[in-house]
Amino acid sequence: MKKFLLLLFLILAGFRVATAQDRAIQGRVTDRATGSGLPGVTVLVKGTTIGASTDSEGGFNLSVPASATTLTFSFIGYSTVERPITDAGTINVAMEASTRELGEVVVTALGLETSRDRLGTAQSTVQGQALVRSGETSPITALSGKAPGVLITRSTGDPGASANIQIRGASTITGNLQPLIVVDGIPISNTSVGENTPGSSGGIVASGGGAASNQIAGVVQQSRLNDINPDDIASMEVLRGAAAAALWGTRAANGVLVITTKKGRNADKLNLSYRTTYGIDEINQVPELQQRFGQGVNGLFSQSNARSWGDRIADRSGGLDAAITTPGAPGYQGFITFADGTQRYAIPAGTAANPHGGKNSRDTYDHSDEVFGRGYTWDNIATLSGGDQRSNFYISLGNTHTEGIARNNSDNDRTTVRVNVDRQLATKFRAGINATYARTFSNRVQQGSSGSSIFLGGLRSPADFNNAYYIGDFTDPQGNIFLRRQSSYRNQLGNSTNPGFDNPFWTIDEVRDQTRVQRLIGALELTYDATNWLNIINRTGVDTYTDRRSTVYPIGAGQSPTGQIGQSTIQETQINNDLIARATHDFSENLGGTLLVGTNLNIRRGEQVGANATNFINPFSPPQLDNTLADSRQPFNLVVEQRTAAAYAQVDLAFFNQLYLTGTGRAETASTFGPETSSTFFFPAGTLAWQFTKLAPFADNKALSFGKLRLAYGSVGVQPTPISPAPTTSQVTLTSLPMGGVPPWMRPTTAGASYAPTCRATPKSSPSAKPN
């Protein structure tokens, strides 16, 4: 711990370590056509990570070790240039613009940079600016429509709600099609836990990220990728296919999203920026509902009927309804009084002679958009960045607040802090720290098919029923008063605690679902340049979050007429470490290669604890578990841990600067593999890329400036999911069991009676579980 704190202090404080062998190199990089300086050109000592970027005038200063022999100059849109290091100490370079982005740098599955020209796999790049310009506050939804073969699906417009990511079709029948998310070389969680109670259809076992892990009722929870601020993203790479992602083994069967966050630049000055954005959201389309017929069936008005095919509204007489307001009169059911003093009574049903009954009013209401309004998003971010020859840093502070289009209790507030620091501590040793903290608070509205969903009761409401009056005090025929009763089209007077389907205004005002999330993602990367052709990287990352949830259905809610409360805490932690050695060597002018070998250790632990309860005792008490009947409380607790260890290797060969061959392999073992299967599985992959336009016949071809043939093969599998069995129940009769063997709290009061203790079996995977 002391060593780590010392290292952190050295990085942040900018402590300079120098050696006598360093040589100072300076120079200027210009555009060959115009002669003007090129800012932002990457200058590297070949085969190492030692380098700098040119300033606004194209100038650079760089300290290089005595063993350094060559500098490389690369910039998007220009051909890469190499220059030998001489004793003169000054190197000026004129770069030539290319007709295409020769040598465009992309990020591989392990977070390492390479040239796109060398890739034999399909890989798409989305720049961070494109994500920000989309106006979306989530990296997932911001990616929509920006990468071929990537399908982003949203099932709700609730702010911050999760979305499905699917890359190039289904790759497994297990239902989890979400890709692996890698941020700066560290895999992170993108789970979206749907239900409060763990089980076969929800909980941390079933969650894999995306809306698919949510149930059809309740709410759509957040996916954890939403904790990343799109403003902090420099680029996002989409890796499709097993060949591109094989180095991640069983976790990459559905593809990989590789996110690279922003870094500071060597500009010898501080850069301070602030951006604020305000956007308005309005509902785009609503279903068209009929406005001609009132509540009832078969052309007859009926206040007690659930259908909307009653009398023709236009044929009514107009004016006030002939309600039954006299106590003791036939059909008198009492009345409900609303906050503004308005009262609602029972109305006589229609007959064959008078299909309107007591319903005279011709007023109609549009239920298609009555609970929706104008939402907004206010996004603010401040950044501070800078750097010099040996170090760079990037710091950001952002806040995004979103109010949904639902008129109440639909919002999301996210605050993020990010710090990226990189420092050349010695000639051959470099260290970097990346960390982000996110705090999210959100209110969510009910979705889908449930008695309390925001739209189900609204769409079924008859055109002649006013949903705006949704809560009041009911007075029964005997004069008894029942406070805060819900009024819905199936329960207009509030005389029942079961409304059938909730009034949508009741849902958005009374039903609560809140989440509070705190998350920390951190990574430490150490790079040692052993020689000018060999470097060693150790990358350690931690991703941990805590999600505290509370769901409350008051007494009288359609989903739970007696009231319901659910409280849970979800914690997930992932620790990942990669040790990588990479050697690069040019055997001749026409043959070069890179060998990469590495080991990976990954530990994931998830815990979900909480309780659900129904039957509130005091309807006016603050919602809490103690305000429910003891026998209605259902506590739950679940812990899931997965461990994965692997060794991998990759060989890249380049022939004549046009033919590129890559072979990879990963040997992996995991705690979820069954004991009756092999303890280790091997996943091979290989690619071939040929830039045939570099052949002599295409040298001056104006019709075809670039062409490449690709061939790829790869094999990966999906890691088995830990199994959480359902509780098992057994009946035991005391006559067959000694009383001494039964705890007092489990003994029935009647001799010879049976009791049914509930016990959960030990979670186990199938003995033959293996990657599929």
One-letter-per-residue 3-state SS of 205-219: HHCCCCHHHCCCCCC
- At 603, the pLDDT band (50, 70, 90 cuts) reads very high
Query: What is the predicted pLDDT for the residue at 765?
Result: 52
Give the Cα separation of 733 and 755 in Å (integer).
7
User: Comparing 83 with 679, which gets the higher pLDDT?
Assistant: 83
Asked which of 212-226, 307-321, 432-446 is least confident by mean pLDDT, the reply is: 212-226
User: Comparing 155 with 444, which gets the higher pLDDT?
Assistant: 444
- At 583, the pLDDT band (50, 70, 90 cuts) reads very high
CA separation, residue 480 to residues 304, 325, 471, 549 (Å): 22, 16, 17, 37
| pTM (2 d.p.) | 0.79
Query: What is the predicted pLDDT for the residue at 215?
Result: 53
Q: Which two tokens stand for residue 546?
A: 């805590």
The DSSP element (H or E) to which 4 belongs, if any, is helix 2-13
Q: What are phi and psi of 668, to 5 degrees?
A: -130, 140
User: Comparing 677 with 570, which gets the higher pLDDT?
Assistant: 570
Contact 574, 187 (CB under 8 A): yes
Query: What is the predicted pLDDT for the residue at 154?
Result: 77
User: Comparing 578 with 389, which gets the higher pLDDT?
Assistant: 578
Whether residue 211 is predicted with pLDDT greater than 90 in this model: the reply is no
DSSP category for residue 96: P
Query: What is the predicted pLDDT for the residue at 117?
Result: 78
The DSSP element (H or E) to which 13 belongs, if any, is helix 2-13
The DSSP element (H or E) to which 9 belongs, if any, is helix 2-13
The DSSP element (H or E) to which 504 belongs, if any, is helix 504-510
**3-class secondary-structure state, position 5:** helix
Whether residue 208 is predicted with pLDDT greater than 80 in this model: the reply is no
Whether residue 759 is predicted with pLDDT greater than 60 in this model: the reply is no
Q: What are phi and psi of 230, to 5 degrees?
A: -55, -25
Name the residue among 549, 566, 547 with its Cα closest to residue 514. Answer: 549
Give the Cα separation of 519 and 504 in Å (integer).
33
Summarised one tens digit per residue, pLDDT across range 474-528 is 999 999 999 999 999 999 999 999 998 999 999 999 999 999 999 999 999 999 9
Q: Which two tokens stand for residue 83?
A: 């220059």
**Interval 369-374 mean pLDDT:** 92
Contact 260, 238 (CB under 8 A): no
Query: What is the predicted pLDDT for the residue at 320?
Result: 95
Domains defined for the chain, CATH in brackets = 19-103 (2.60.40.1120)
User: Comparing 724 with 640, which gets the higher pLDDT?
Assistant: 640
- At 17, the pLDDT band (50, 70, 90 cuts) reads very low
Q: Which residues contact 341 (CB under 8 A, 6 or more apart)?
A: none
Whether residue 286 is predicted with pLDDT greater than 50 in this model: the reply is yes
- At 9, the pLDDT band (50, 70, 90 cuts) reads very low
Give the Cα separation of 482 and 201 in Å (integer).
38
Query: What is the predicted pLDDT for the residue at 659?
Result: 93
- At 417, the pLDDT band (50, 70, 90 cuts) reads very high
Query: What is the predicted pLDDT for the residue at 105?
Result: 75
**Interval 616-635 mean pLDDT:** 90
- At 15, the pLDDT band (50, 70, 90 cuts) reads very low
Contact 159, 404 (CB under 8 A): yes
Whether residue 703 is predicted with pLDDT greater than 70 in this model: the reply is yes
Contact 551, 540 (CB under 8 A): no
Contact 582, 596 (CB under 8 A): yes
User: Comparing 523 with 116, which gets the higher pLDDT?
Assistant: 523
Percent of the chain with pLDDT over 90: 49
Name the residue among 723, 746, 743 with its Cα closest to residue 674. Answer: 723
Percent of the chain with pLDDT over 70: 85
Name the residue among 557, 490, 455, 159 with its Cα closest to residue 305. Answer: 490
Query: What is the predicted pLDDT for the residue at 170?
Result: 55
Q: What are phi and psi of 144, to 5 degrees?
A: -60, 130
Q: Position 522: which residue type?
A: G
- Can you list the alpha helix ranges (DSSP code H) found in 207-284? 242-245
Query: What is the predicted pLDDT for the residue at 241?
Result: 76
Q: What are phi and psi of 226, to 5 degrees?
A: -65, -15
Give the Cα separation of 498 and 183 in Å (integer).
49
Whether residue 69 is predicted with pLDDT greater than 90 in this model: the reply is no
Whether residue 707 is predicted with pLDDT greater than 90 in this model: the reply is no
Whether residue 203 is predicted with pLDDT greater than 80 in this model: the reply is no
Summarised one tens digit per residue, pLDDT across range 533-576 is 999 999 999 999 999 999 999 999 988 999 999 999 999 999 99
DSSP collapsed to 3 states, 579-618: EEEEEEEEEECCEEEEEEEEEEEEEEEEEEEEEEEECECC
